[in-house]
Structure 1
């Protein structure tokens, strides 16, 4: 059984669909804790470290063999909790970051939520150091996108992301910082490769 720690209910159906395509025999155990992202935005990411560790611990107690954290904002905290939980923990965007580093030195990160920028950029730099590669990371928040997501306007949310993708011309690869942004990759006409985290993350977690 693989536990998934989400901060949005929207991810449940996404990862159930990907499980059917990537690892149909894998059992998923979904944990939705929306308050973790709310508290991280309001109080700062370090303030929710204990709460994240508790959720990872509960997943281990429930019988999970590994945990996949689908929230980029708290992903680093989830990985840190692996030591006390006693099971592997993977943040969903780590495989994507490794793929971005392999794609080329000029990496553009697009985020719908400001709190995701610093963790995603740091992760890419970490993966670049691990691979012994030099990269230049540029990052920006897509104005108004998260407001659309919170309002339940998924089409408006994805349209804003797709428009932002079309504006990037000077990168070797574009990284979508949040799992919820993934469908926008199918709506844009950019010639720059676009990486999203859900499929790559689930594939790597299933391998654990």
Structure 2
């Protein structure tokens, strides 16, 4: 029986991944660890020794494959042996090439997402323009559980950026942004989301 332990920093991701599991592989067992305090600490103080210790211990005690669904703490989780949610999507973005429009709604996501994408490009032996699209003004909608409004605002901002950016692909760098992809399904440009690609990668481990 396949088991995956998911490390979340938002309760909303539990339902997202349970729904994906039910669609992709109903027999898999998902164990959810929800720690919003990890994100709060990382945003306020960065990768403190205490935070690294807690994340590492959670990964070492995980049942099955450990999958971290938070980009902000992703580097800490990856160092401890977890699969990080955005890595498979980064690999796909590197395969497609640039320009890559990288949208994110948390400033603490910007640096680790950019670094992960640059590493993916290096592994693919490619160079590509990465166009950051910071959308922190919409994060309060997610935090207040206004998910439909959050997705609509993200999708609208991406549409506004397309004429100037002219990207080869669009990367929604955070799991919370994934619902915006459905609102962009009419585009010819590929829209890459992180939850499904990450779960499939975890299942393949």
TM, length-normalised to structure 2: 0.91
Which runs of structure 2 are paired with 1:154-169 in the superposition (5 Å)?
A: 154-167=147-160, 168-169=162-163
The answer to which of 52-61 and 161-170 deviates more is: 52-61
Match for residue 202 of structure 1 among 174, 199, 204? 199
Q: RMSD of the TM alignment (CA)?
A: 1.5
User: 5+ unaligned residues in a row in structure 2: which ranges?
Assistant: none
CA distance in 1, matches of 2:19, 2:56: 23
- Whether 1:184 aligns to 2:186 is no
- Whether 1:151 aligns to 2:153 is no
SS, match of residue 186 in structure 1: helix
- Whether 1:51 aligns to 2:48 is no
Q: CA deviation at 1:156?
A: 1.5
What are the superposed Cα offsets for residues 32-73 of structure 1, whole Å, 9 maximum, x if unpaired?
Answer: 0000111111112x22x54244244235435x1210000011
CA distance in 1, matches of 2:203, 2:56: 17
Counterpart residue number, 1:3: 5
Deviation >3 Å, runs of 4+: none
CA distance in 1, matches of 2:78, 2:19: 24
- Whether 1:171 aligns to 2:167 is yes
- Contact persistence 1:9–1:32 (CA under 8 A): yes
Q: CA deviation at 1:105?
A: 2.2
CA distance in 1, matches of 2:203, 2:105: 27
